[in-house]
Amino acid sequence: MKEPLVEVEKVTFSYNGEIVLEEVNLELFAGDFCALIGPNGSGKSTLLKIIVGLLKPQQGRVRLFGKEIENFHEWWRIGYVPQKVTSLVDPVLPLTVAETVGLGLQGKPKSHGFSKKEVILSALERVGLADKADKLLRELSGGQQQRVFLARALVGQPQILLLDEPTTGVDFTAQERFYELLGRLNREGLTILIVTHDIAVVDRHVKQVACLNRKLVFHGKHEDFCKNPEVCGLIPGPHHLIGHLH
Ligand SMILES: Nc1ncnc2c1ncn2[C@@H]1O[C@H](COP(=O)(O)OP(=O)(O)OP(=O)(O)O)[C@@H](O)[C@H]1O
């Protein structure tokens, strides 16, 4: 039987005694492209932070690549783009695009036969920004900065990519381009879990939907999510208007 790459089992998490995740189970398998959706404050970012080990649940367990998270050390196998990452772009700090991407190599064993510069350029090529390597990060547009942070998450050549609302604040064309890029990466074999509110965009790009509302209320194909008025009603959006295009 296929083993999940990510296994969240009965995870319960609270901030200062207030429960935000309750007995959440979620499995991600190789090749999945799953949107994690849910109302504001339903625990989506918290769940991602638990999966990448930034927060520890009070109850339940997380397994990554078959290992208990406490014994998992190969963090380069998981790329993570946190929420509002572009707002961290320092308007003064003269960090170049290549230097920003290079930060994603920390803790990764050296790639045999390739210099650090080649590895960075290759990640920038994947996101279509190789020509911007020497530019200052702060000089790029919001959409381009998003792609730089995607390159930073990809530079360690992860097998899983976790993204937390990566297209917030960028225009529709840049969003579409970003999702098309994610679709291509997924077809190339990357497993993706993305937190998003862009339901219309989700319709066209992802393979599965997981819906959180403190508990995991749905996990399956998007078309089945739309057939379930109770959970579908949690998410404002044009589900009923847009057909599933896969
Ligand atoms: N560091 C924190 N300390 C205390 N409470 C927090 C903290 N971070 C988040 N919360 C609370 O936990 C709940 C879940 O937050 P979380 O950010 O995981 O939700 P979300 O589904 O990602 O929300 P959104 O869609 O608005 O980004 C919210 O009620 C939030 O206010």
| ipTM score of complex | 0.97
- Output the residue whose Cα is nearest ligand 1's atom 17: 45
The pTM score is: 0.88
Does the domain at 6-89+159-232 match CATH 3.40.50.300? Answer given as yes
Torsion sign across C-alpha atoms 84, 161, 181, 183: negative
pLDDT tens-digit series, residues 15-70: 999 999 999 999 999 999 999 999 889 999 999 999 999 999 999 999 999 999 99
Alpha carbons within 13 angstroms on the beta-carbon side of residue 164 total: 19
What is the spatial distance between Cα 81 and Cα 237, in angstroms, rounded to a whole number? Answer: 24
User: Residue 111's pLDDT is what?
Assistant: 67
**Closest C-alpha to 154, from 186, 202, 132:** 186
CA distances from 61 to 39, 47, 54, 212 (A): 24, 12, 14, 18
The best mutation among 26, 46, 54, 84 to test binding of ligand 1, ranked by most ligand atoms within 8 Å of the C-beta, falls on: 46
pLDDT tens-digit series, residues 117-134: 889 999 999 999 999 999
Cβ proximity of 152 and 100 under 8 Å? yes
In short, whether 145's Cβ falls inside 6 Å of ligand 1 is no
Return all residues near 203 (Cβ < 8 A) that are at least 6 apart.
222, 239, 242, 243, 244, 245
Comparison of pLDDT for 114 and 209, the residue scoring more: 209
